[in-house]
């Protein structure tokens, strides 16, 4: 594959999602990754790394001036709801997911870069499931509200944007940024009980499937769109944990239902419109586990 001279800036490029996105892009583009605190333990060959906080514009202005990116992919911030319990964490999440995109967009807008903002399935209420791209977002958790704030800013600031909402992503992380399945594997491997919600419904998808969607967005003249990425299998977190324990040979009895008084919450995404637009192939859960 011939490598393009175009640069792509991956914000938060050393996290779980950012790492996989960067690794997929470096085969075709000149990739620049930013991180907030610590450089990657194992850098990807061919990628340029810079320390830059999304809450500060100047570092991004310098990076944009140096590389003139064709596109910016915003992967910054944690996507784990449990990381936003305290009020301080919620304020920090609001700044990273909402204020951060504003700073990065302002720094790179002069080069007319396409802005790809990665959002998630839980920006919906969870009351109906099978949410379409044009359905109204009704966020309830602090993280979901922060994500919707970021989406709204991106849509109001530029026409050259694509927002990708993804279901939970199946794959292996890195030593410094493990995936949720890595954490489950570690817990089960230590014979610790793993409590998961039987009421939380999603349609998880492979991390490399998200990378494929991003590559298609970059190679096609797609702009001003909401894109959904998910798998063909709807499943609760509890049942997902049960199936995962079987895949890794762990004792299935360690996976137990989390007791709660909450209603069933279905965050599954309908991606028919996105599939027709980008012509990607969704997978069933068994194929999703093949990457493990």
Residue 86 has pLDDT above 80, yes or no: no
CB atoms within 10 A of CB 143: 25
Lowest-pLDDT choice from 61-75, 76-90, 242-256: 76-90
pLDDT over 90 at 88, yes or no: no
* DSSP helix/strand/coil, 127: coil
d(CA 67, CA 7): 6
Q: What is the largest CA-CA distance in the chain?
A: 56
pLDDT at 179: 94
**Domain 7-173+205-230 part of CATH 3.40.50.1220:** no
In terms of pLDDT, which residue wins out, 54 or 142?
54
Helices (H) and strands (E) in the chain, counts: 10, 14
At residue 1, the pLDDT reads: 53
Contact 22, 45 (CB under 8 A): no
Confidence of residue 196 (pLDDT cuts 50, 70, 90): very high
**How confident is the model over 257-283, as pLDDT tens digits?**
998 767 889 999 999 999 999 999 898
């Amino acid at each position: 594959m011939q490598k393009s001279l175009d640069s792509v800036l991956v914000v938060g490029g050393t996290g779980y999602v950012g790492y996989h996105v960067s690794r997929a892009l470096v085969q075709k583009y000149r990739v620049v990754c930013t991180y907030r605190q610590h450089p990657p333990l194992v850098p990807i060959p061919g990628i340029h790394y810079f320390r830059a906080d999304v809450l500060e514009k100047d570092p991004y202005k310098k990076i944009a001036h140096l590389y003139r990116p064709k596109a910016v992919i915003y992967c910054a911030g944690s996507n784990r709801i449990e990381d936003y319990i305290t009020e301080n964490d919620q304020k920090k999440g609001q700044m990273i997911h909402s204020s951060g995109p504003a700073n990065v967009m302002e720094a790179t807008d002069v080069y007319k870069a396409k802005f790809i903002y990665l959002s998630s399935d839980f920006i919906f209420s969870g009351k109906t499931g099978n949410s379409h791209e044009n359905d109204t977002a009704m966020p309830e958790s602090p993280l979901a509200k922060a994500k919707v704030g970021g989406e709204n800013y991106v849509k109001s600031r530029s026409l050259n944007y694509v927002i990708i909402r993804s279901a939970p992503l199946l794959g292996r992380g890195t030593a410094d940024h493990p995936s949720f399945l890595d954490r489950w594997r570690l817990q089960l491997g230590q014979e610790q009980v793993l409590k998961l919600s039987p009421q939380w419904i999603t349609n998880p998808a492979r991390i490399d499937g998200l990378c494929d969607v991003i590559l298609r967005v970059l190679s096609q003249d797609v702009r001003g769109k909401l894109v959904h990425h998910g798998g063909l299998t709807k499943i609760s977190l509890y049942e997902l944990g049960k199936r995962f324990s079987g895949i890794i040979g762990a004792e299935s009895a360690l996976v137990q239902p989390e007791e709660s008084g909450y209603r069933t919450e279905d965050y599954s995404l309908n991606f028919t419109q996105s599939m027709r637009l980008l012509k990607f192939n969704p997978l069933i859960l068994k194929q999703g586990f093949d990457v493990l």
